[in-house]
Structure 1
Amino acid sequence: SFENNSNISMNSDCTQVVVPEEVFFTIAAAGILENLLVLIAVIKNKNLHLPMYFFICSLSVSDILVSLYKTLENILIILCKMGYLTPRGYFETKIDDVIDSLFILSLLGSIFSLLAIAADRYITIFFALQYHNIMTLNRALIILAVIWVVCAGSGIAITIFSHETATVISFTILFPFMLTFILCLYIHMFLLARSHAKKIASLPTSAVPSRVNLKGAITLTIFLGVFLCCWGPFLLHILLVTFCPFNPYCACYMSIFHVNATLILCNGIIDPMIYAFRSPELRSTLKKMFCCTRSDW
């Protein structure tokens, strides 16, 4: 794909935008570090051992995987340029398949993790009193196990049949379909949030949970917006490469391939900032970790 993008943009009137490898490595390293801090904070603080934070950890794992994917890909490209690897050798092809599987795994993991977070917020808002009976810790772990098994199997299958047009279409259709489903769930939450809040307002302890639940829905909105902005341009690139690789307009868009890849890496940096900004408990835990204060976790 890297070679094809270079050749297409060279044959068009648009100049290819090249992002230095150092930028990729820096952003990827920052994303891995930030998401590892989130994972460590959730593991250390028992107050964060809740389904919502476990789903957030799943999203952090996806962000780590995409950073690893881009790091390994850049290392492979550098070694090819230096002559240590053959671009189309058997070993290099297998390594490339593994890297591609890692990329698909990270994308599917992000989508399904966002779906799990959306479902968790939905249950929190509309079934607040029964939430702890519906979404238990064991059920959350089972859901995460199923998600990652499905994502791993899908990643391997898509990589094997990646040259088939049907595979590309199915892969790219999944992205808007899942986002549309999450968006419909989100719209339904906000349309009924006011009427539901009025019904539970008569309960003595309902005021604080309703504010917290609405805040969780707003957090989900931010997640979706950032995910769409960071991943959307790259998936559009995949569609253009498949269906109009030599169209001059498509070629001009494909000339910013490196920019689209950089946006994906930025998603791994932005997500942990959203966690820390929107969650006081997680923000406090991270602050204690940085300040190295002694506390009873």
Structure 2
Amino acid sequence: MGNRRLYDIVNFLIPRVSLWLNVDPLAEALPDRSPYEYTLSNPIRFTDPTGMYPNGPGDENIRTKDIEEVKLVGKRESWFTRNIVRPIKNFFKGEPNLSSQQGAYGQSGAYTNGKDKYGVAGLVLGYNYSGSIMSTKSNIKVLNGEIESGMGNGKLNLAADLKVKVAAMAAESKNILGDENWNVFADAKGDFLYAEGELTNGLYSGERERYGIILGGGGKAGALSGEITSGYTLAGIRFGDTVGGCIECAEASAQGAFYYDNKKGNLVIRGYGAFGGEFGGRVGKFIEIPVLKFIKLTKDIVKIKLN
């Protein structure tokens, strides 16, 4: 390179001409950015100590074992995920999360609810409480539009996982009495002047940290609907049933699922169906088995016996 000085800032830079000699190794994971950009052209906010992927405040540096996963997501990300799902998630990034509020709250405008649910409402009124033996999360939304999706996070991206809903008024309440391993629970939700479409079909390969198969989809619309999901947890095994119905409605949907939820360490088996004309009914059943806890418990028992 003669007397030209090189700066090894993970990707070689010739400062005199502001020229990068090689592209970001994971440029395909950010298809909307230039492959020659460093730290998204914002070195004040972002760093890239490994030369693999930009990191923001609080982010962990990407590890070597993550590189192939990031490459795979970038290469196999669908047009729909890249141009629809990701822009929606970016738009709602940083908005208030209803599930993390404490006590009574109220707001209007954009919100998130959990990790994969995003919405806009004219008004949201809610109350959250979390105690040692009881917790509740309840809210009412007026003029509400909501989208829920786990697409774009899988290794293979072979699962359609999308739900869209609009309602003049929507209410939901999630309640648990007991601890994590021994409890009873009851979740209720209702909608007034609503329309909803859902497509959950394919092979989970990491979407929402799930691995397995899910088959289903359908649509609903009507004047009034409601459903209750209730059950109990015994030694960590969760059993639940869903019942519900609608008035002045039209709906047809079904779902069957068998997958491992890595976030909770549970094996989930679930079935659900909803059919109706002027009046409709909904039924469902599920069981969640804490596989990870049982494996750990077995290892601990074996270890005790060996000692």
The TM-score, its normalising length taken from structure 2, stands at 0.19
Pick 1 or 2: higher relative contact order, CA cutoff 8 A, min separation 6. Answer: 1
The structure with the greater share of residues assigned to helix is 1
> Bigger radius of gyration, 1 or 2?
2
The structure with the greater share of residues assigned to strand is 2
The TM-score, its normalising length taken from structure 1, stands at 0.19
